[in-house]
Structure 1
């Protein structure tokens, strides 16, 4: 026992000895800067205090969230209103399922279903007259009661069996309320109103907009491309190499080429659009096209890498599953949804995390496409990393830039934790 323990300790020490050079390099160039920047985020260190920085506490973090002039309403108000709109959306969906259950059970739970429908009408009436708070408490209380009690006649079986359809319907209804009834007070309305009064919030909104545009589209296109490259098509090796080349090409070179393609006067993209009688689009000069323009460049550059990773995942799937499915008479779509997609979930999970983190760190495309500016005007292309860069490099406010960097780190950390929690439940690993 003693000999085995000594041998294990000796092997462990030897392993750390081999790792020591890497740990030293990481410590100098990674761990030390990260720790120092965290300490720096609590100091007043800018151009005026370059030689004598002093402890500033949380003032840097508070300064980042300071508005140039107050928004129309507070974030808490918008959050509470948004909760009510979500509750209203849920109640409508549950009312539909309740009606289906009512028909199936032939009215055995009539009182429960009638109460849901009446509460839906009450909520809508409350929204129209701006007395949302009482309705919100009733709705959330009723939902909690029905969902938590064990012996309820209302089991929401249909809701549970169609959970993804239900979630999509709830999101759709919520968006409709945001665009109509709820557009005066909500989280989205607060962000729209506040982002022009606080540069950090604008950078945060633009970054989220960019992430939502790039990550799902890139993964969907990459999966489709990987399926094609995995089939028996001619020149497969050539196509795999061609699609991967943009990923290994310098982002500066890629952005410069796309800058010419996006030119509204002689650009190639507008030339192709003219074939379909589409008027020239001012890709690099119109504020509303700033984030989509950056997203197009990023999608094109990242597509090849994601496709190759998906392709590796596809080739690791045993053909036995497909042969068994063919024996059972499964068609192409059934094989994809029942075999390919579930067995690709670990690969999708990996790419989702990597793509999400990479999307939050977008900077070079903005800097090159707009020649060092955060968009054509009105900071329409400012992102979180560009915001940190501007504070540090141009304004020489190092303490404030460090605080902004750690806020970005916190945002990425939260989303990564959420993805890991969800991934542990939905990812299927096959040994």
Structure 2
């Protein structure tokens, strides 16, 4: 027992220097910033911050003017269309199972009609019909849930596709997207969330897809493979400030390289750094170019870790190249893909330097079109000297990243295949 305690004590003594450094420079600032998020701490109250509870968080979500309709109405109407989409997907699933119980299909049709009508009548009816629908959908998912989960991505894409079609065919001015588009012009934090989410959607899937294609090419027996691997990885280890300055020249609308290349195809000059609609895409293109090499190298390591025995067995069974990728490569790369998804998403939500350098210290050309969540916190803390609200904004960003990471882990546990 004494020997065990001695070994434990020795272990903690070895960890002590690192724990001291982490406590001073990591743990203490994290805890102290959480405390400060509940205090009014700015340039006027630098020495005597006053406790205001959730006042900073309320200030962050304060609108410059009221929206045309409340948030709960946007949620209800969006749920109506999602319910319609889910009902159609379940109806298709029942049909594919050749379920001949006529009352099931009749009930689906009735729910579909009622939900469609609910989109154009009072909110009381909407809430009632939604409640009835979710009771029914819960019972249906208990029966079809396991079968649908095996094709989760296909089901999600089907729901999303039907949802988009329904919103296009039956346009209603109430919905979460409509609400966000209006709210982001009246609240800078919501605008920062919108811009950052837009950036994440553009960069993360595109970077991972391109990295996978590059890794598959590098994994083949091609000449100068080591050279290309280094060339793709080089932007990742290059200073983001230097890269941003180079891309600032590339994006220049008068003498930039990008417009010069586009002129070969008869495309007129585009004001990449002066047009609001191009702000997030320009940042995304830069980030994709910088990060794709890192993801490609990680994918390449995953590809080289796959035992060739699987491919030899597939050759014996007569599988073609696409079938090998679909049933061997992609499933066995799922741990690598899962890791890259989490890391890429977290890094994308922390985008800052690209915006700061590319636009000369401004959040975009005008109308805060390049305002990201980290830039929002930076602006509050360093420029406006409103440190308490900045701490609150930082913790809201942490909560968003933590929730999304938790969801990814929950899904990843069931979808990632770990093979020894």
Note whether the superposition's TM-score is higher than 0.5.
yes
Pick from 252, 266, 269: which aligns with 1:263? 252
* 1:47-66 matched pairs, under 5 angstroms: 47-66=43-62
Counterpart-to-counterpart distance in 2, 1:49 and 1:180: 54
Equivalent in the alignment of 1:282: 271
Unaligned runs of 5+ in 1: none
Q: State the number of aligned residues.
A: 418
Is the aligned partner of 1:94 residue 2:87? no
Equivalent in the alignment of 1:138: 132
Is the aligned partner of 1:14 residue 2:10? yes
CA displacement, residues 212-270 of structure 1 (integer Å, 9 cap, x when unaligned): 11111101111111111111011011001101110000000001101111111111111
**Pairwise CA distance, 1:355:** 0.5
Alignment TM-score, normalising by the size of structure 2:
0.95
Counterpart-to-counterpart distance in 1, 2:63 and 2:161: 31
Counterpart-to-counterpart distance in 2, 1:160 and 1:219: 23
Residues 97 and 156, structure 1, Cα contact 8 Å, conserved in 2: no
**Pairwise CA distance, 1:329:** 1.1
**Pairwise CA distance, 1:315:** 1.1
Q: What SS does structure 1 have at the residue aligned with 2:249? A: helix
Equivalent in the alignment of 1:41: 37
Equivalent in the alignment of 1:126: 118
Counterpart-to-counterpart distance in 1, 2:146 and 2:226: 49
Residues 91 and 139, structure 1, Cα contact 8 Å, conserved in 2: no
Counterpart-to-counterpart distance in 1, 2:177 and 2:325: 37
Equivalent in the alignment of 1:321: 310
Equivalent in the alignment of 2:153: 164
Counterpart-to-counterpart distance in 1, 2:68 and 2:180: 11
RMSD of the alignment, in Å? 1.8
Residues 77 and 119, structure 2, Cα contact 8 Å, conserved in 1: no
CA displacement, residues 353-405 of structure 1 (integer Å, 9 cap, x when unaligned): 11111000000000011101100110000000000000000000001100000
Counterpart-to-counterpart distance in 1, 2:146 and 2:3: 58
Unaligned runs of 5+ in 2: none
**Pairwise CA distance, 1:276:** 2.1
Equivalent in the alignment of 1:352: 341
Alignment TM-score, normalising by the size of structure 1:
0.93
Counterpart-to-counterpart distance in 2, 1:120 and 1:237: 57
Counterpart-to-counterpart distance in 2, 1:156 and 1:409: 32
Comparing 173-182 with 306-315, which one deviates more in the overlay? 173-182
**Pairwise CA distance, 1:45:** 0.8
Equivalent in the alignment of 2:103: 111
Q: What SS does structure 1 have at the residue aligned with 2:28? A: helix
Residues 118 and 126, structure 2, Cα contact 8 Å, conserved in 1: yes
Counterpart-to-counterpart distance in 2, 1:406 and 1:136: 34
Q: Residues 363 and 390 (structure 1 numbering): CA distance in 2 closer, same or farther, change over 3 Å? A: same
Pick from 165, 168, 177: which aligns with 1:188? 177
Counterpart-to-counterpart distance in 2, 1:341 and 1:310: 11
Counterpart-to-counterpart distance in 1, 2:273 and 2:338: 34
Equivalent in the alignment of 2:323: 334
**Pairwise CA distance, 1:160:** 5.9
* 1:69-88 matched pairs, under 5 angstroms: 69-88=65-84
Residues 363 and 386, structure 1, Cα contact 8 Å, conserved in 2: yes
Comparing 116-125 with 244-253, which one deviates more in the overlay? 116-125
Comparing 319-328 with 234-243, which one deviates more in the overlay? 319-328
**Pairwise CA distance, 1:183:** 4.2
Q: Residues 377 and 238 (structure 1 numbering): CA distance in 2 closer, same or farther, change over 3 Å? A: same
Pick from 212, 215, 219: which aligns with 1:226? 215
Comparing 92-101 with 183-192, which one deviates more in the overlay? 92-101
